[in-house]
Chain A
């Protein structure tokens, strides 16, 4: 596979996201925004979104949701972590949940588009189109020198955060990941742990000022492709130098996950990482990328609680998690 094609491997490149931060002129930021102003902003944003989308989008006020439900939205990457416990914030989306607007999160409005890793440019176009339409109803704070004014000066300018999530088990296990993170920092790319996914990382741009949006996308894309190709090189080298070892470890993980009666969250995440590696390397047949992502979300503590409809003790949670694995893996063949 060529270097550019690694991002098309859905077991390696797990997804991409584009966020544009905007603030409404004349309103204060953060805790200075009074409750009444925050509620008015929610409705103004909803009206603007409805006009922009031909009434296809609607507001979900987050305070109407339980804490576990909110955490579930964080797990699915639909809201940012800072919105988990924040008052008077909301999510505006349509049937297609891949395009939405977070209200009163990191900024007054955060336009968010999510999709597959190779589609970063298309996601940017979608987010910017929605932003242009919203501009017809809302005045965004802007400075001729510093561009769009954000609540954190680190996002000033384009207000753009473009990211790709990569699954990098070999770079993690060989200890290379720190060198990778340090090298990325030198070229203006941040590397963060992907929430709820062991051995997976989010690569995103550090700089938001002084570059056009397309330039930022190109930089994130290029960096993700380079890191993805390194991961694949390490996988190939490991299988060449240690024949049979990766197969053994993957099948052991499969066996334990298929039979265990209790599993804590960390162990569950590591199991999914191993299964994903196995599927990517054609060791484990019959695992779709969507299935693995679904399993990853299902085993999250918040989603286990939501499913049970009540709080779970640590033991109940571990048993519920193990049942999820048994249910999904019982259908899978035990031979390669």
Chain B
């Protein structure tokens, strides 16, 4: 069936157009539909309010995790810089590869705050034990295991 507006092209669908007589339904070709800014029909009635309103903006993307200092995940991904010390824990999965790239896959070996000495010594002994077992240095591993056991079973200031 030919387009009801131009009468030349084949019509392709039913559209609602606003004319001087109000809303009318017409069979239009794509060119005329575009020119009239016609709305394709849904069902058989007048266009709904949703059809007439401009498209709604897309919903804002989820902010992701937020640290207590206010630093957002997106910001950390973009800058690689923490907003506070707690960011290192909140976004540990983001900082781990970054630190590994900058500094290698290393653990802290230097000075330890007095309050953390006991805990840090235990962690270091555990790592040394793992290393000794990996390298099949079993005598050394046994000594480390005994030292570790002694340390873990003796409550010291800084362990608690």
Q: Is the interface of B mostly helix, strand, loop or mixed?
A: loop
Q: Which residues of B contact A147 (CB under 8 A)?
A: 108, 110
Q: Which residues of A contact B119 (CB under 8 A)?
A: 144
- How distant is the Cα of A28 from the Cα of B90 in the complex, in angstroms? 14
A236 CB → nearest B CB, Å: 38
Segment from B7-15, B38-46, B98-106 that makes contact with A: B98-106
Pick the most buried of B88, B104, B110, B115: most chain A CB atoms within 10 A of its CB. Answer: B110
Interface residues in B86-133 by Cβ distance below 8 A to A read 88-89, 95, 98-99, 102-104, 106-116, 119-120, 123
B83 touches A29 (CB 8 A): yes
Q: Which residues of B contact A139 (CB under 8 A)?
A: 113, 115
Q: Which residues of A contact B123 (CB under 8 A)?
A: 144
Q: Which of A28, A140, A213 contacts B113 (CB 8 A)?
A: A140
- How distant is the Cα of A332 from the Cα of B7 in the complex, in angstroms? 105
- How distant is the Cα of A161 from the Cα of B21 in the complex, in angstroms? 81
B85 touches A149 (CB 8 A): yes
Q: Is B69 an interface residue (CB 8 A)?
A: yes
B77 CB → nearest A CB, Å: 14
Q: How large is the interface on A (under 10, 10 to 19, 20 to 34, 35 or more residues)?
A: 35 or more
A108 CB → nearest B CB, Å: 10
A145 touches B110 (CB 8 A): no
Q: How large is the interface on B (under 10, 10 to 19, 20 to 34, 35 or more residues)?
A: 20 to 34
A252 CB → nearest B CB, Å: 46
B108 touches A158 (CB 8 A): yes
A213 touches B110 (CB 8 A): yes
Closest to A108 in B: B85
A207 touches B84 (CB 8 A): no
Q: Which residues of B contact A149 (CB under 8 A)?
A: 82, 85, 88
Q: Which residues of A contact B99 (CB under 8 A)?
A: 146, 153, 156, 209
Interface residues in A188-218 by Cβ distance below 8 A to B read 207-213, 215
Q: Which of B71, B107, B113 contacts A210 (CB 8 A)?
A: B107
A152 touches B81 (CB 8 A): yes
Q: Which of A32, A140, A213 contacts B83 (CB 8 A)?
A: A32
A136 CB → nearest B CB, Å: 9
Q: Given A144-B119, A153-B82, are A210 and B104 neighbors across the interface (CB < 8 Å)? A: yes
B70 touches A210 (CB 8 A): no
B108 touches A146 (CB 8 A): yes
Q: Which of B104, B107, B115 contacts A207 (CB 8 A)?
A: B104
- How distant is the Cα of A151 from the Cα of B119 in the complex, in angstroms? 24
- How distant is the Cα of A23 from the Cα of B85 in the complex, in angstroms? 8
- Interface residues of chain B, those whose CB is within 8 Å of chain A, are 69-71, 80-85, 88-89, 95, 98-99, 102-104, 106-116, 119-120, 123
- Interface residues of chain A, those whose CB is within 8 Å of chain B, are 23, 25, 27-30, 32, 128, 131-132, 135, 139-149, 151-154, 156-158, 160, 207-213, 215
Beyond the given A131-B111, A145-B107, please list 4 additional residue pairs across the A-B interface where CB-CB is below 8 A: A29-B84, A144-B116, A145-B108, A215-B109
